[in-house]
Amino acid sequence: MATSDEHGRGRLRSAAVAPANWTERLSEQGFAYVLLVPTLLLVSTMALWPLVSTFEMSLRADALFSAEYVGEFVGFENYVELLTGERNAVLGSPFLDFGQPFQSALTVTLIYVAIAVTLETVIGFGQALVLDQSFRGRRWVRVAILIPWAVPIAIQGLIFWLFFQPGIGVGTDVMQSLGVFSANPLINTTDTLIIVIVADVWKTSAFMALLILAGLQSVDRSLYDVAKVAGASRVQQFRYITFPLVLPALLVALLFRTIQSMRVYGIIETTGGCSTLPSLTCLVVSTFRSGRYATSAAVAFITAGIVALVALVYIVKFADLEVGA
């Protein structure tokens, strides 16, 4: 009888500790993969399939005089002709021309990204350092910094178009007095590039400041107290405490802004126009509108490849920092 009761109690204990369903039998890593399944399905449907379709279209010829969107299969001919300049004659602007860096869509995009993201990072970091301090009216300063970020791109472009429009805005006169701009900067490629960079920095520095500020506020304040006791100067505190601990958040901000900047289109179109200042996205739109769908797909896929490469570099660097931490 006692043996029977012991077996019964053993079965009850086993039932009590047994997982209620199959998810509880999974390891933490396995459960994480299960949670990622809906996301992977969504990405495959909404992103991967269009990407594969675009790549397949880029391997075909343009069909300008046919009822079909694209012509016969030509392999990587579109890519070769774009990169070697053979397709420049039919494009509104050359895809790649190192002899005319401010006329080439690829070099203009890379120049814009390098300068704009660098300035936004420096200015945003400075704003974040100020907003991280306690002072009277800090809330209103934060609101003021966020106002440009809330302005729609179309309104942003119109503001700078009016500001640098000869006879209307004062920006042209000021820049001409400094010997920088031509008589009509909105039809000059170099001048328009400067205007677009200034407009983007004006709008997007707040975004960088917010992301960096989030990293600053996660830093343990006691570290600064210890540094002060040790006699560390403010520069040394920034170098050995602030910057290393904020660097992961900074890299995330840089990744977001670099990807966004590679797709620049709206601010160009609403200021000088894509005919004045070409970019990769401008080239995608112009070739698509002209019916060169295969060429447009090739430019779009090259742009996506560059963005993916940049993201990969950032992710690998961020992983190294995580391991080091």
- The predicted structure's pLDDT at residue 199: 92
Tokens describing residue 39:
């996301």
- The predicted structure's pLDDT at residue 3: 55
Which of 75-80's residues contact partners 24+ apart within 8 Å by CB, and which partners?
78/294, 78/295, 78/297, 78/298, 79/298, 79/302
Task: Give 80-137 pLDDT, tens digit per residue.
Answer: 988 888 888 788 788 888 778 888 889 999 999 999 999 999 999 999 988 888 778 7
C-alpha span between 295 and 95 (Å, rounded): 11
Q: Where are the alpha helices (DSSP H) in 180-279?
A: 189-216, 222-229, 234-237, 243-262, 266-269
- The predicted structure's pLDDT at residue 200: 92
**Average pLDDT for 227-251:** 86
**Average pLDDT for 187-195:** 89
Residue count (the chain):
325
C-alpha span between 191 and 181 (Å, rounded): 6
| Residue 12 banded pLDDT, cuts 50, 70, 90 | very low
- The predicted structure's pLDDT at residue 276: 86
Neighbours of 295 (CB within 10 A): 27
Answer yes or no: CATH 1.10.3720.10 is held by domain 104-280.
yes
The pTM of the whole model exceeds 0.85:
no
- The predicted structure's pLDDT at residue 239: 86
Collect all residues with Cβ–Cβ distance below 8 Å to 145 and sequence separation of at least 6: 127, 131, 205, 206, 209
Task: Give 36-70 pLDDT, tens digit per residue.
Answer: 888 888 877 777 888 888 889 889 888 877 777 78
Q: Where are the alpha helices (DSSP H) in 62-188?
A: 77-84, 105-131, 138-150, 153-163, 171-177
Task: Give 144-183 pLDDT, tens digit per residue.
Answer: 888 888 888 888 888 888 888 887 778 877 787 777 788 8
Collect all residues with Cβ–Cβ distance below 8 Å to 97 and sequence separation of at least 6: 85, 88, 103, 104, 107
Task: Give 263-320 pLDDT, tens digit per residue.
Answer: 889 899 988 888 888 899 999 998 888 888 899 999 999 988 888 888 888 777 776 6
C-alpha span between 238 and 245 (Å, rounded): 10
- The predicted structure's pLDDT at residue 198: 92
Tokens describing residue 202:
């004006």
| Residue 249 banded pLDDT, cuts 50, 70, 90 | confident
- The predicted structure's pLDDT at residue 68: 75
DSSP-derived secondary structure letter, 24: G
Distance of CA 59 to the CA centre of its chain: 27
- The predicted structure's pLDDT at residue 19: 52
For residue 132, which amino acid is it? D
pLDDT of 247 > 50? The answer is: yes
Compute φ and ψ for 235, nearest 5 degrees. -65, -45
pLDDT of 143 > 60? The answer is: yes
Domain boundaries, the chain: 104-280
- The predicted structure's pLDDT at residue 251: 86
User: Strand, helix or coil at 161?
Assistant: helix
- The predicted structure's pLDDT at residue 201: 93
- The predicted structure's pLDDT at residue 117: 93
Average pLDDT, the chain: 83
* Burial of 22 (C-beta count, 10 Å sphere; 0-12/13-18/19+): exposed
- The predicted structure's pLDDT at residue 119: 95
